Amino acid sequence: MLIRLVVVVVLVLLLWLGTRRMKIIPTRAQVVVEFILGFVRNNIVVETLGEKDGKRFMSILMTIFFVTLGMNLTGVIPGLQIAGTSVIGLPLLMAVVAYVLFIYAGMRKYSWRFFKNALILPGVPKALTPFLALLEFLSTFILRPITLTLRLLMNMVAGHMLLLLCFSATEFFFFTVLANQGNPLGFLGIGTFAFGIAFTVLELFVAALQAYVITILAAIYIQMALADEH
């Protein structure tokens, strides 16, 4: 729980200071902040939802991105070492937010017809309609939040497990096998340590990637809910 607090404080500080004095001609720091914010704004939100709808959901989608990114990155930050998202709470929260968002977007635009549009596909033989509606219901309203949650959670858990495995093995080889037993097999620890470093770098990448994925999926779900009737 302390990790979350740290992440929130750091995020608030960075975003607050980064956007405190936005100038027309940006400073270096502003360029960096603007690049990241602009990436989420343009490449994720506006590109998926368009300018108008993008504006409506900009804040919450950006929040999803930055909270996920921040919590993911704690997995590789020395001293924290465990991703805030490698416990199910946060991924579940993100999924619930995304779920509520796309249903809200659809309901807002089509009211109850949204569910009919989502479930009943045009041009399908009458006999198959209930069957397909059931499948659509499962995929849209049941599986989406579950996949969102589990994708993020498992990525982070797996990363954490891998790092834990590598570094535990390193410790085991160096201190138990090499130092205590004097067995040269302990030099294997060098290899496991190298793997640990490599996976740390990979985790950095995965942290950013998963933040991107969950945000763009939320945006796409909203876009599909807003899309014109089939």
Partner 1 sequence: MLDTFAVRAAATPSLLFPAVPDLVWGTISFAIILVLFIWKVVPRLNSALDARRDAIEGGLKRAEEAQAGAQDALEHYNAQLAEGRAEAARIREQARDEARVIRAELIEQATADAARITANAKTAIESERQSALVSLRAEVGSLAIDLASGVIGESLNDDKRSTAIVDRFLADLEAADRAGEVGRSKAKA
Q: Which residues bind partner 1 (CB under 8 A)?
A: 1, 4-5, 7-8, 11-12, 15-16, 19-20, 22-24, 34, 37-38, 41, 55, 58-60, 62-63, 66-67, 84, 87-90, 92-94, 97, 153, 157, 164, 168-169, 172
| Nearer of residues 24 and 127 to partner 1, judged by Cβ | 24
| Nearer of residues 12 and 124 to partner 1, judged by Cβ | 12
- The span from the CA of 45 to the CA of 53, in Å, is 9
| Nearer of residues 120 and 150 to partner 1, judged by Cβ | 150
| Nearer of residues 28 and 230 to partner 1, judged by Cβ | 28
User: What is the 3-state secondary structure of 99-141?
Assistant: HHHHHHHHHHHHCCHHHHHHHCCCCCCHHHHHHHHHHHHHHHH
Q: How far is the CB of 15 from partner 1 (least distance, A)?
A: 5
| Nearer of residues 133 and 213 to partner 1, judged by Cβ | 213
- Least Cα distance to 69 among 210, 219, 163 occurs for 210
Q: How far is the CB of 135 from partner 1 (least distance, A)?
A: 24
- Least Cα distance to 44 among 72, 63, 31, 25 occurs for 63
Q: How far is the CB of 143 from partner 1 (least distance, A)?
A: 15
From residue 44, alpha-carbon distances to 15, 65, 69, 82, 109 in Å are 19, 10, 14, 27, 21
Q: How far is the CB of 11 from partner 1 (least distance, A)?
A: 6
Q: Which two tokens stand for residue 91?
A: 């991924």
Q: How far is the CB of 131 from partner 1 (least distance, A)?
A: 29
Helices 89-110 and 144-171: crossing angle in degrees, nearest 10, is 160
- The span from the CA of 142 to the CA of 99, in Å, is 10
| Nearer of residues 153 and 219 to partner 1, judged by Cβ | 153
| Nearer of residues 144 and 160 to partner 1, judged by Cβ | 160
Q: How far is the CB of 80 from partner 1 (least distance, A)?
A: 14
Q: How far is the CB of 220 from partner 1 (least distance, A)?
A: 20
Alpha helices in the chain (DSSP H): 2-18, 28-38, 47-73, 89-110, 113-119, 129-137, 144-171, 188-226
